Amino acid sequence: MAKQQVSIFVDDSSISVLVTKGRQPVKWTAVPLEPGLVKEGVVQDQPAVAEKIKEAWQTSKIVRRRVAVGVSGLNCLYQMMLLPELAEGLRAEAISREAAQSLGIPLEGVYLSWQVLSVDHGQMKVYLAVLPKDKVDSVVATLKLANLRPTIMDIKPLCIARAASEPRAILVETSQDALDIVVLGDGIPEVIRSLQLAPGTPAGERIGILRSEMERSISFYNAAHLDKPIDLTVPVLVSGDLVGQESEMASLSGPRERPVRALETPLVGTEGFEHGKHMTCIGLAIKGILASEPEMVANSVVNFDALPEIYRIKKQSLADVMWLPTVVMGVVVIGMGIWGVTYLKGENSDLRAQRDEVNQTITDQGVADSNVTDMRTQVDAARTPASALEALLDRLDQDRVSATEDLSLITGCAADSGVTLENVNYGGDGISITGSAVTVDQVLQYGWLLKDRGGFTFVLIPSVGDTDDGISFRMELTA
C-alpha cells in the first residue's frame, strides 16, 4: 500500500504544498508571501513564514508532520567530477577536498551533497551540488517553528529534472521573481541556471531574459558535448506560470523553431490540480515513489538527499530502545529475589523460634518420646515451605539468566535484520514483540533469525500493518 507523503517548497513569493499517496495527488495549496519575508531562498522572517505554513496545514487539514522539502536553486553550484575509485568510507573527504580546490570557495559556509553516478575503469563519476548554509539553515529552522520535521531535501532545479518526461530536454521553470533553466543530457542535469528577477519585471523583458539565458546554457552544453549536442529536435519543456500562455511559450522556440510544450507529470491526473504550478513538489514526491515502486523510472539519474547530516532523523539504537524493558525486567527479577530472600529469612526465624519453643517445652514438661516424634513431624512440615521458597529463588535466578539471554538474542537479531523494536513483553506462554520496519522482508528475516539462532520452536507474526514511515508488526515467540 502506498504511503502518504507531504512535499513543501518555500520560494521568495509563495509556499507550495503537495500531499500525495503514491502517484495520486491528494491535497495541494499555494500560499503567497509578502515581499521581503524570503530573499533568494533565505527566510528572513522565520516566525512569520512559520505562521503561514501553519495556516496552510490547518486550512488543508494536513496531519502529517514529516515533510520532504525543496529549496531554491539560487546561489547553488553544480559540478561533475572525475575521481579515482575510492572505498565508501574515503569518498566524502576526497570529494570535499576536490570541491574546495576546483570551486575555489571556503567550505565553512556551504553544505555539500553528492552522488556517485558510475564507476568505470578505476574512476568515479561524481555529481556534486553546493548549497549555501544560510539558506538551508533558515528553511529548516522555519519548519521547526511550524512544528514540521524535514526527512529529505532537494534543490528546485534537480526536482524539475526528476519530473522530466524525456531524458534529453531543455527544462524551463518560471515564476514572477525567478527563472530556472536545466539542460538535461542523457538523464544528467549538466547545465543549471537559476536567476533572480527584479520585482515587477515586465512580461516581455522576462521572456527576453529567459530566451537569452536558455540559448547561453545550450551553447555551454554543446561546447562540452561536441559528439552529441543539444540539437533542434530536443524540446523545451515548460513549467511554472508560463504554462497555458501559448504565445509566450511559443516565443521560446526561437527563429529555428525548436519544439516547445508544457512539461508533463508522472502523477495521476486529478481534477483541479494544475501540475505545472507544483513541479518542484512533484519532483520531491517522485523521490518517495521511486523508493516504493520498483517499476517507476525517472529520466534524471541524480537523486541524492541534500538534507545535511546534522538535520537527519537519527534512528534510535537498539540499546536506546531496549534499555527501559531491560531495566524493568531486571528490577522485577531483583525485586522478586529480594522478596524471596526476605521471606526465607522470616520463615527461618519463625522456624528457629518454634524449635526453641519445642525444646523448652520438652525440658520443662518432660515430654514423652511419642510427643517428641510428633513435634519433629511438625518441624519437618514447617521446613517444607522454606525448601519450596529456596527452589523458587533458584528458579527466579535461572529465569533472570534466561531472560537476559533472550533479550540479547532478540535485540541482536533485530539489529541484523534492520527492524526497530518498540516493546518486548514476557508472558506466561512466551514472548510478545512489537516493532516497526521499512519492508515486510525485514520482518520475515527477523523471524527466521530468531528461529534459527534462538531455538524458538514457534515464531508467529499475527499482525503486520502500514504506517506513514513503513510497517508495524507484532510477533509471538514460544521457546
Q: Please report the DSSP string for 302-359 in residue order.
A: -----S-GGGSPPPPPHHHHHHHHHHHHHHHHHHHHHHHHHHHHHHHHHHHHHHHHHH
CA 69/CA 234 separation, integer angstroms: 30
Beta bridge partners of 5: 20
* Residue 403: predicted pLDDT: 77
- Rounded mean pLDDT of 35-52? 96
* Residue 83: predicted pLDDT: 93
Residue 324 pLDDT > 70: no
* Residue 38: predicted pLDDT: 96
* Model pLDDT for residues 437-461, shown as the tens digit of each residue: 888 888 888 888 887 766 577 888 8
CA 225/CA 168 separation, integer angstroms: 13
- Rounded mean pLDDT of 138-159? 96
Residue 337 sits at φ, ψ, to 5 deg, of: -65, -45
Same domain, yes or no, for 255 and 325?
no
* Model pLDDT for residues 208-221, shown as the tens digit of each residue: 999 999 999 999 99
CA 153/CA 155 separation, integer angstroms: 7
- Rounded mean pLDDT of 31-39? 94
Same domain, yes or no, for 307 and 394?
no
Nearest Cα to 448, choosing from 147, 456, 281?
456
Kind of pairing between the strands at 66-71 and 149-155: parallel
* Model pLDDT for residues 341-384, shown as the tens digit of each residue: 566 566 666 666 776 776 666 566 655 666 656 666 766 666 66
* Residue 333: predicted pLDDT: 55
Residue 173 pLDDT > 90: yes
Same domain, yes or no, for 141 and 272?
yes
Could you tell me the residue range of the domain that residue 214 belongs to? 166-175+196-263
Is residue 185 in a domain? no
Which of 225, 242, 263 lies at the terminal end of a domain, its last residue?
263
Residue 373 sits at φ, ψ, to 5 deg, of: -60, -40
Percent of the chain whose predicted confidence (pLDDT) is above 70: 80
Residue 318 pLDDT > 60: no
Q: Structurally, how many domains does the chain consist of?
A: 3
Same domain, yes or no, for 381 and 468?
yes
CB atoms within 10 A of CB 238: 25
What CATH number should be reported for the domain holding residue 403? 3.30.1360.100
Listed in sequence order, the DSSP H helices in 256-317 are 279-292
Same domain, yes or no, for 205 and 259?
yes
* Residue 409: predicted pLDDT: 82
Which of 295, 314, 333 lies at the terminal end of a domain, its last residue?
314
Residue 120 pLDDT > 70: yes
425 or 184: which carries more pLDDT confidence?
Answer: 184
Q: Output DSSP code: residue 12.
A: S
What CATH number should be reported for the domain holding residue 53? 3.30.420.40
Q: Which of 149-163, 235-249, 349-363 has the highest mean pLDDT?
A: 149-163
> How distant, in Å, are the alpha carbons of 23, 50, 151, 170, 430 from that of 163?
12, 28, 20, 13, 51
CA 231/CA 252 separation, integer angstroms: 15
* Residue 257: predicted pLDDT: 83
* Residue 415: predicted pLDDT: 83
What count of residues does the chain have?
479
Same domain, yes or no, for 22 and 156?
yes
Does this model's pTM top 0.95? My answer is no
Q: Which three cell numbers stand for residue 302?
A: 541524480
Residue 323 pLDDT > 80: no
Among the residue ranges 150-154, 196-200, 380-384, the one predicted with the least confidence is 380-384
Same domain, yes or no, for 137 and 16?
yes
Work out the pLDDT band at 326, boundaries 50, 70, 90.
low
CA 402/CA 11 separation, integer angstroms: 58
- Burial code (b: 16+ CB inside 10 Å, e: under 16) for 398-420 equals eebeebeebbebbbebbeebebb
Same domain, yes or no, for 27 and 149?
yes
Same domain, yes or no, for 251 and 377?
no
Q: Which three cell numbers stand for residue 456?
A: 524458538
Beta bridge partners of 274: none
Average pLDDT of the chain is 85
Among the residue ranges 15-24, 103-112, 342-351, 390-399, the one predicted with the least confidence is 342-351
Is residue 147 in a domain? yes
Work out the pLDDT band at 25, boundaries 50, 70, 90.
very high
Residue 316 pLDDT > 60: no
* Residue 317: predicted pLDDT: 52
Nearest Cα to 20, choosing from 326, 199, 357, 268?
268
* Model pLDDT for residues 49-82, shown as the tens digit of each residue: 999 999 999 999 998 899 999 999 999 999 999 9
Look at residue 443 and give its three-state secondary structure.
Answer: helix
Percent of the chain whose predicted confidence (pLDDT) is above 90: 49
Residue 23 sits at φ, ψ, to 5 deg, of: -95, 10
CA 109/CA 16 separation, integer angstroms: 27
Same domain, yes or no, for 363 and 457?
yes
Same domain, yes or no, for 467 and 329?
yes
Work out the pLDDT band at 256, boundaries 50, 70, 90.
confident
- Rounded mean pLDDT of 306-321? 72
Which of 277, 297, 314 lies at the terminal end of a domain, its last residue?
314
